[in-house]
């Protein structure tokens, strides 16, 4: 039976122009691997949006990274103060992976 390890799944929903900054922050902390997912639209405390913005300034992208507890906590600590001002949403959850050493 394949051995499975519990890790943390980090998801950040953020405006597209902020993604490169988030990638760099993650890298600083030691989270080098990630995947970006597209979105279509939504609504939050700052109103509705659709991914048809010409400028892409308010089109949102989902940043996904699987990592260890410590890295996840460090990332959350780093991002928490920015969530409100930058209209971001951060989600953390448990996930099981094979090859645990790759997701430290």
Partner 1 sequence: MALDALLQPVVLFFLLGAGAAFARSDLAIPEAVAKGISLYLMMSIGLRGGGEVAETGLTHDMLLAGGAGLALSFLLPLPAFWLLRTAGKLDRTNAAAVAAHYGSVSVVTFATGSELLRQAGMAPAGYMVGVLALMETPAIITGLLLARAKANDNLASRGGMLHETFLNGSVILLLGSFLIGMIDGKEGLVAVAPVFDVPFRGMLCIFLLDMGLIAARRLLDRRALTLRTAALALVLPLLNGTLGVVLGVELGLDAGSAAALGILAGSASYIAVPAVMRLALPAADPGLYLGMSLAVTFPFNLTIGIAYYGWLSAHLLPILAP
Ligand X SMILES: Nc1ncnc2c1ncn2[C@@H]1O[C@H](COP(=O)(O)O)[C@@H](O)[C@H]1O
Per CB under 8 A, which of residues 9..38 are in contact with partner 1?
15-18, 20-22, 24-25, 28
- Which one of ligand X, partner 1, a copy of itself, none is in contact with 24 (Cβ closer than 5 to 8 A by kind)? partner 1
| 6 is a site residue for partner 1 (CB under 8 A) | no
Q: How far apart are CA 61 and CA 17, in angstroms?
A: 9
Residue 45 touches ligand X, criterion: CB under 6 A: yes
For 4, phi and psi rounded to 5 degrees?
-125, 140
CA distance to 66, 86, 92, per residue, from 33 (Å): 8, 23, 16
CB of 77 to a copy of itself, least distance (A): 5
């Amino acid at each position: 039976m394949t051995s499975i390890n519990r890790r943390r799944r980090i998801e950040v929903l953020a405006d597209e122009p902020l993604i490169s900054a988030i990638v760099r922050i993650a890298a600083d902390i030691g989270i080098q691997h990630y995947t970006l997912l597209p979105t279509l639209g939504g609504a939050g405390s700052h109103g509705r949006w659709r991914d048809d913005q010409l400028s892409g300034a308010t089109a949102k992208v989902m940043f996904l990274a699987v990592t260890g507890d410590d890295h996840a906590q460090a990332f959350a600590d780093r991002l928490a103060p920015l969530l409100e001002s930058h209209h971001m949403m951060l989600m953390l959850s448990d996930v099981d992976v094979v090859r645990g050493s790759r997701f430290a």
